[in-house]
Amino acid sequence: MYAHDIRCPTNVTRPRYVGICERTGFKFYYDDLTFQYDWRGNSLVNLNILVGQPFIDKPQEQLRPVITGPDSLPPFPRPSPPSYETQAAGGVPGPLTAITPVSRLFILGDSELGGGDVLGNGVLGGG
């Protein structure tokens, strides 16, 4: 056995390939060189850098994206305090009704408004 380097001595009976670490420039057996991996998105990606075993870096976790859980569901039914009108009426009111249109007031003007228009002026009703 002839020593031509401390890290990879030459064996005449069993020769092995020698490679250079791309990070440090040291000689290593080619079998001991491995590719460097790092986070890119959600997966580890090969950076295509051959590095000696003592100089391999762990993949940086801060390069990994943060995955958050789903938003929480709102409570159902939505809690709300009762209104003053509900308490005064003595219960829960039915579905909301639309405001009576003005045209309906003109039709009912003679009987319900005492004759006249909406304002009770007696102009439109004829009564």
Q: Is residue 123 part of a domain?
A: yes
Q: Is residue 57 part of a domain?
A: yes
Strand partners, 27: 20
Number of domains in the chain: 2
Q: Is residue 122 part of a domain?
A: yes
- What mean pLDDT value characterizes the chain? 74
Q: Is residue 94 part of a domain?
A: no
What pTM was estimated for this model as a whole?
Answer: 0.49
The parent domain of residue 108 ranges over 99-127
Q: Is residue 124 part of a domain?
A: yes
Residue environment code for 34-60, b if the CB has 16+ CB neighbours within 10 A, otherwise e = eebbeeeeeeeeeeebbbbeeeeeeee
Q: Is residue 35 part of a domain?
A: yes
Last residue of a domain, one of 61, 83, 115: 61
Q: Is residue 27 part of a domain?
A: yes
Residues of the chain with pLDDT under 70: 1-4, 75-127
**Structure tokens given for 66:** 């943060």
115 three-state secondary structure: coil
Q: Is residue 31 part of a domain?
A: yes
